[in-house]
């Protein structure tokens, strides 16, 4: 059984082990694979694993031995699923492996914006506290989260975990979700989308990227938000119209944004959010804690093992 990992570096840059996968067959791991290298590296493979390397219909048609594609992520838009089904290729993904880590990043951004921890730590390092006439100083408003309204768009695994953390901070939690009132715990209140944007102090995006949700946060929706409110996105970059968000931040329609994803990654140097006022961007690392990546590799191997035992799990449709 020949197993090829096309782009293993992001999940495992060398601090973890591929041993569980290697135990299942003849396994070759490439750190990165350019589009023009995919066919040559995949030749003869029964199993391909990919994170961001695209496997489309044209590629699958040239790989008669291919039986299985494992996506090393939750989102699987890099694989042409319809073409895979037509070719008899099973496709799996890895759901919910990074739930806790992503929810943690949501609040890393919220707390940074609320308290400007890094900015104040940098000021201390530069000597400002040593020369201060007072026992303390701060450069921007320090925001307490208790009783603030937290709006969550999409109440899946990560959205629900984020809601639980928000409740722990004493926030009032509202959700835009397909779930009914009866499916929600009493402390999470269902709210329509525009109302959520206009009423909540913090809005955090946790919905999947679909044709319906692409550009969900545009100039009209941003105009509904309070000038003191905060937008967080650890979901998918294209949920936001980036120029509209940059404009809202720069003109004071919105207080701040914390983003872990952008529409193009790595971003172009002229992306307007890179220089927008009060825009804090991390390089798509919410998923990448050591624990989450270890979980990802384990589930990836378990997915392959289940397939080899003719009991496939986490199959995408």
Q: Point out the catalytic residue in the list 277, 284, 298, 302.
A: 284
Task: Judge whether 138 lies within some domain.
Answer: yes
Task: Judge whether 224 lies within some domain.
Answer: yes
Give the strand pairing for 47-50 and 2-5. parallel
**Cα–Cα distance, 57 to 35 (Å, whole number):** 14
Indicate if 258 and 110 belong to the same structural domain: yes
Residue 66's domain comprises 2-97+290-308
Indicate if 141 and 39 belong to the same structural domain: no
Q: Point out the catalytic residue in the list 236, 242, 293, 295.
A: 236
Indicate if 206 and 146 belong to the same structural domain: yes
284 belongs to the catalytic site: yes
> Number of structural domains, the chain?
2
Indicate if 212 and 241 belong to the same structural domain: yes
236 belongs to the catalytic site: yes
Q: Point out the catalytic residue in the list 61, 214, 265, 268.
A: 265
How many residues does this entry show for the chain?
Answer: 317
Strand-pair partners of 27: 3
8 A C-beta contact, residue 270 and residue 85: no
Indicate if 266 and 304 belong to the same structural domain: no
Indicate if 169 and 47 belong to the same structural domain: no
Indicate if 196 and 89 belong to the same structural domain: no
Indicate if 202 and 241 belong to the same structural domain: yes
Which CATH number goes with the domain that contains 169?
3.40.50.720
Indicate if 109 and 238 belong to the same structural domain: yes
Indicate if 254 and 179 belong to the same structural domain: yes
265 belongs to the catalytic site: yes
**Cα–Cα distance, 167 to 183 (Å, whole number):** 17
Task: Judge whether 249 lies within some domain.
Answer: yes
pLDDT of the chain, 317 residues: tens digit per residue = 999 999 999 999 999 999 999 999 999 999 999 999 999 999 999 999 999 999 999 999 999 999 999 999 998 989 999 999 999 999 999 999 999 999 999 999 999 999 999 999 999 999 999 999 999 999 989 999 999 999 999 999 999 999 999 999 999 999 999 988 889 999 999 999 999 999 999 999 999 889 999 999 999 999 999 999 999 999 999 999 999 999 999 999 999 999 999 999 999 999 999 999 999 999 999 999 999 999 999 999 999 999 999 999 999 98
């Amino acid at each position: 059984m020949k197993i090829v990992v096309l782009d293993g570096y992001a999940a495992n840059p060398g601090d973890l082990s591929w041993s569980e996968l290697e135990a299942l067959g003849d396994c070759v791991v490439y750190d990165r694979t350019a589009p023009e290298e995919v066919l040559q590296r995949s030749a003869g493979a029964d199993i391909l694993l990919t994170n961001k390397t695209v496997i489309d219909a044209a590629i699958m048609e040239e790989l008669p031995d291919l039986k299985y594609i494992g996506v090393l992520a939750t989102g699987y838009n890099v694989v042409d699923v319809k073409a895979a089904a037509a070719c008899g290729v099973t496709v799996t993904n890895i759901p919910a492996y990074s739930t806790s880590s992503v929810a943690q990043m949501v609040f890393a951004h919220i707390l940074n914006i609320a308290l400007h921890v890094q900015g104040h730590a940098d000021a201390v390092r530069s000597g400002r506290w040593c020369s201060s006439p007072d026992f303390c100083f701060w450069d921007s408003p320090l925001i307490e989260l208790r009783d603030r309204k937290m709006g969550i768009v999409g109440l899946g695994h990560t959205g629900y975990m984020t809601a639980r953390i928000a409740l722990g901070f004493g926030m009032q939690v509202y959700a835009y979700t397909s779930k009914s009132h009866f499916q929600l715990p009493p402390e999470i209140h269902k709210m329509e989308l525009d109302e959520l944007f206009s009423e909540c102090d913090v809005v955090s995006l946790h919905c999947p990227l679909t044709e319906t949700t692409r550009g969900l946060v545009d100039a009209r929706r941003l105009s509904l938000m309070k000038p003191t409110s905060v937008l967080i996105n650890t979901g998918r970059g294209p949920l936001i119209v980036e120029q509209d968000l940059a404009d809202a931040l720069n003109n004071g329609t919105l207080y701040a944004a914390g983003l872990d994803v952008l529409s193009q990654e790595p971003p172009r140097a002229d992306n307007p959010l890179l220089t927008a006022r009060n825009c804090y961007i991390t390089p798509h690392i919410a998923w990448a804690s050591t624990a989450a990546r270890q979980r990802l590799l384990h589930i990836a191997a378990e997915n392959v093992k289940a397939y080899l035992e003719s009991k496939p799990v986490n199959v995408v449709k």
